[in-house]
Amino acid sequence: MKNRRRVKNKNGIANIYLVLVFLVLYAPIFYLMYYSFNSGGTMHKFEGFTLDYYREVVADTRLMIIVINTLVIALLSSAIATIIAVIGALAIHHVRSRRAKNTLLSLNNVLIVSPDVIIGASFLILFTIVGIKLGFTSVLLSHVAFSIPIAVIMILPHLQEMSPTLTDAARDLGATRRDVLTKVILPIIKPGIFSGFFMALTYSLDDFAVTFFVTGNGYSTLSVEIYSRARQGVSLSINALSTLIFLFTILLVIGYYYLNQRKSRPPVQIAEPVAEAGVPR
């Protein structure tokens, strides 16, 4: 009896700790959202309810262009990155020698573990030397570049899980290399391709540091814009914007999980869980 009570008590403390962690984790986000409705114009004294800042955000054409820029870059770069990542995953999968495979994998992971400032600075040098004008092209190329490795990591486990007898059987039945790829391999690794694309998308939408380095004058993405506005101090249109982004993010996550749920296959264990969440950019 006594023993059981102690366990229960322990659970109480445990729950309080967890609740506290969740509270701290979500407090700033809800704090931002709450003050986006403040007619007082500050982030510390709530005077009255208003939707003015939402109107301001929607009416701001410059901001809308930036939102569109961000979405275009994210969709385009993740699509390109995913295609190249499929090729990369196939390349790594087909390499026979263990040593060559490890080398390829390490090279693949360099951009995942590199600090963003270094990626940004080195890409800036690269684009300047090659003569690419800073702006849309440079931002797109960088986003493709840093999204490829994460997509490869998401696709590779699916390839490794695939039974080699399937491709052998297809070849024995007279399938060409092309058929094997499009009719056997690609359908099997499809879930990996989707999660790769999705990760690339979130990487691209979230990226600040790399974009900050390679974006020229006149071209901006949301993160860069938020940074430059936040540096000028508190402005509640940022709060309104962040509320909208938060809702959009939640929709995206729900959509992603819905897609994942529909596939009735067992979840593939991802080697590096950190990679799944994405290191902050």
Partner 1 sequence: MMSKGKSYYLIPYYLWIALFVIAPVLLVVYYSLFDLEGKLTLNNYVNFFTPVYMRMMLNSFWYAFLITVFSLLVAYPAAYLLTRTKHKQLWLLLIILPTWINLLLKTYAFIGIFGTFGPVNNFFDLVGLGEQQILFTGFSFVFVSVYIFIPFMILPIFSALDEMNLSLVDAARDLGASGWTTFRRVVFPLTISGVRSGCMAVFIPALSLFMITRLIAGNRVITLGTAIEQHFLVTQDWGMGSTVAVFLIAIMALFMILTGGSRKGVRG
Q: Alpha-carbon distance 186 to 198, whole Å?
A: 17
> Which positions ≥6 away from 159 have C-beta within 8 Å?
89, 90, 93, 185, 189, 192
User: Phi and psi for 142 in degrees, rounded to 5?
Assistant: -65, -40
Nearest residue (CB) to partner 1, 200 versus 222:
222
> Could you tell me which of 66, 90, 82, 88 has the C-alpha nearest to residue 223?
66
Q: Which stretch binds partner 1 (CB under 8 A): 1-9, 52-60, 183-191, 273-281?
A: 273-281
- Show the site string, 224-243: x = touches partner 1 by CB under 8 A, - = not: --xx--xx-xx---x---x-
Task: Tell the smallest beta-carbon distance from residue 202 to partner 1 (Å).
Answer: 6
Q: Are 92 and 156 spatial neighbours (Cβ–Cβ below 8 Å)?
A: yes
CB of 125 to partner 1, least distance (A): 5
Choice from 6, 253, 255, 263 touching partner 1 (CB under 8 A): 253
Number of chain residues interacting with partner 1 (CB under 8 A): 83
Check: CB of residue 78 under 8 Å from CB of residue 204. yes
Near partner 1 in 16-55, by CB under 8 A: 17-18, 21-22, 24-29, 31-32, 35, 42-45
Which parts of 80-139 interact with partner 1 (CB under 8 A)? 83-85, 87-88, 90-91, 94, 104, 107-108, 110-111, 113-126, 129
> Could you say whether residue 222 binds partner 1 (CB under 8 A)?
yes
Lookup result for tokens 């994210």: 74
